[in-house]
Chains A and B, each alone.
Chain A
Amino acid sequence: MHKEAAIREPLILGHKTYHDITEDVCKPIEDKAPRMWYVLFSIALIIGLYGVGCILYLLGTGVGVWGLNKTVGWAWDITNFVWWVGIGHAGTLISAVLLLFRQKWRMAINRSAEAMTIFAVFMAGLFPLIHMGRLWLGYWVLPIPNQFGSLWVNFNSPLLWDVFAISTYLSVSLVFWYIGLIPDFATIRDRAKKPISKKMYSIMSFGWSGRAKHWNRFELVSLVLAGLATPLVFSVHSIVSFDFATSVIPGWHTTIFPPYFVAGAVFSGFAMVQTLLLVMRKAMHLENYIHTKHVEYMNIVIMVTGSIVGTAYITELFVSWYSGVEYESYAFINRATGPYWWAYASMMTCNVVSPQLMWFRRLRRSLIFTFIISIVVNIGMWFERYVIIVTSIHRDYLPSSWSMHYPSHIDIGVYVGTIGLFFVFFLLFARYFPVLALNEIKTILKSSGEYYKNLPDDHHHGDDHGHVVEEVKAEAAPVVEETVAPETETPEADSTEEPKSEDNSDEESDTEEKDETND
Chain B
Amino acid sequence: MADKVFYAMYDDDDVLKDGAKKLVSKGVKVTEVFSPFPIHGIDPIIGIKNTRLGIMAFIYGLTGLTLATIGMRYFMIEDWPMNVGGKPNFSYLDNILAFIPITFEFTVLCAAHGMAITYFLRNKTLPGMPAQNPDPRTTDDRFVMELRVSENSKFSAEELEKMIKETGIVELDQKSL
Contacts of A139 in B (CB 8 A): none
Contacts A155-B102, A207-B132 known; A462 to B168 CB distance under 8 Å?
Answer: yes
Contact flags B146-172 to A (C-beta < 8 A → 1, else 0) = 000000000000000000000010110
Residues of B within 8 A of A161 (CB): 101-102, 105
Most central of A150, A156, A187 by chain B CB within 10 Å = A156
Q: How far is the CA of A186 from the CA of B125 in the complex (A)?
A: 11
Q: Contacting A231 at CB < 8 Å: which of B46, B108, B128?
A: B108
The one of B11, B46, B119, B140 in contact with A212, judged by C-beta atoms closer than 8 angstroms, is B46
Segment with Cβ contacts to B, from A217-225, A368-376, A382-390, A483-491: A217-225
Within the complex, the shortest CB–CB distance from B142 to chain A, in Å, comes to 8
State whether the Cβ of B3 lies closer than 8 Å to any Cβ in chain A: no
> Chain A contacts of B138 at CB under 8 A?
190, 209-210
Q: What's the count of A-B pairs with C-beta under 8 Å?
A: 208
B18, B106, B120: most-surrounded residue (chain A CB, <10 A): B120
Question: Which of these, A22, A153, A224, A446, contacts B115 with CB under 8 Å?
Answer: A224
A217 touches B37 (CB 8 A): no
State whether A216 and B127 are in contact (beta carbons under 8 Å apart), knowing that A209-B132, A443-B37 are contacts in the complex: no
8 Å CB contact of A186 from B76, B82, B139: B139
Contacts of A212 in B (CB 8 A): 32-35, 39, 42-43, 46, 48
Q: How far is the CA of A229 from the CA of B40 in the complex (A)?
A: 24
Asked whether, in the complex, the Cβ of B106 is within 8 Å of the Cβ of A164, the reply is yes
Q: Does B111 contact A (CB under 8 A)?
A: yes
Q: A156-B98, A221-B53 are known contacts. Are A209 and B140 too (CB-CB below 8 A)?
A: no
Asked if A439 and B36 sit within 8 Å, CB to CB, the answer is yes
By beta carbon, the residue of chain A nearest B146 is A211
Q: Which of B29-66 contact A (CB under 8 A)?
A: 32-40, 42-43, 46, 48, 50-51, 53-54, 57, 61
Contact A152:B75 (CB < 8 A) given known A182-B125, A191-B136, A207-B126? yes
B109 within 8 A of A: yes
**In the complex where A216-B50, A225-B112 touch, is A203 in contact with B128 (Cβ < 8 A)?**
yes
For A401, what are the chain B residues with a Cβ–Cβ distance below 8 Å? none
Report B-chain residues with C-beta under 8 Å of the C-beta of A17: 141
Within A118-169, the residues touching B (CB, 8 Å) are 143, 150-156, 158, 160-161, 164-165, 167-168
The answer to whether A206 touches B129, judged by C-beta atoms less than 8 angstroms apart, is: yes
User: What residues on A are CB-neighbors of B43 within 8 Å?
Assistant: 212, 216
B55 CB, nearest partner CB in chain A, Å: 10
Within 8 A of B (CB), among A177-208: 179, 182-183, 186-187, 189-191, 202-208
Task: Give the chain A neighbours of B168 by CB distance below 8 A.
Answer: 462
Chain A residues in 8 Å Cβ range of B101: 158, 161, 164-165, 235, 239, 242
A160 to B82, CA, bound (A): 15
Tell me the nearest residue of chain B to A20, going by C-beta: B141
Chain B residues with CB under 8 Å of chain A are 11-12, 14-15, 18, 32-40, 42-43, 46, 48, 50-51, 53-54, 57, 61, 71-72, 75-76, 79-80, 82, 84, 95, 98-99, 101-102, 104-106, 108-109, 111-113, 115-116, 119-120, 122-133, 136-141, 168, 170-171
Sample (9) of A-B pairs whose CB atoms are under 8 Å apart:
A151-B80, A186-B131, A209-B133, A211-B32, A212-B32, A215-B39, A217-B123, A220-B50, A235-B104
Given contacts A155-B75, A216-B48, A219-B38, 8 further A-B contacts (CB under 8 A): A155-B76, A164-B105, A175-B113, A204-B127, A211-B132, A212-B35, A229-B112, A462-B15
